[in-house]
Amino acid sequence: MKNKHRFTLALLCFAIQVLGQSHVTDFGVEIQAYPTGLIPGIRFERSFSEKDLFTLRLGFQIIDHRDLGIQDDETGTGYGATVGYKHYFRPGFKGLNLGLRLDTWSNTIDWTNNIPNGFETGRSSVWVLQPTAELGWGIVLGENAVVTPALAFGYEVNVKTDGKETGQGAIILLGITLAYRLK
């Protein structure tokens, strides 16, 4: 399994190098909140045209499905990566942008069920794919600072579960990225 992760990371690094004819490169931190969790991460974006960016993110997920999942209570954490594309409608990578992203997460969910005469508890390991569409607004401050608030809609799909099934489905995320831009 580790070799698959290394191969994917090497492939992404190669893709970034192929896009070397770029105009800007942004390095930053991102945080996304959704009704049942929080995702802090580091984000890398590199342009390949005057209005288009390739996006890569590494993140950590803090999950609290509460009773909104399949089990009576679901909490956990996970780590993951995002590959994406973002299109700006104005030159200079500012203003309105639309993006498409695909996240993959490796989550560990601790769950509890209320049963007659007590509780049933357990842990599930879940691989998740999350395709997402994102609407953002790029704000350039000075020459090198970029702030990008964004709203994203997607669908979380549990593709492999070791243990009992856990929550999945439609997801809405509100996020902000703070980045340093290299030209």
Q: Which domain holds residue 110?
A: 2-182
Segment 58-83, tens digit of pLDDT: 999 999 988 888 888 999 999 999 99
Number of domains in the chain: 1
CATH number of the structural domain spanning residue 13: 2.40.160.20
Given a contact cutoff of 8 angstroms between Cβ atoms, the answer to whether 119 and 112 are in contact is: yes
Looking at residue 7, its pLDDT comes to: 62
Given a contact cutoff of 8 angstroms between Cβ atoms, the answer to whether 74 and 66 are in contact is: yes
Closest CA to 72 of 122, 38, 37, 107: 122
Q: 3-state class of 166 per DSSP?
A: coil
pTM to 2 decimals? 0.83
Positions in the chain whose pLDDT score sits under 70? 1-22
Q: 3-state class of 144 per DSSP?
A: coil
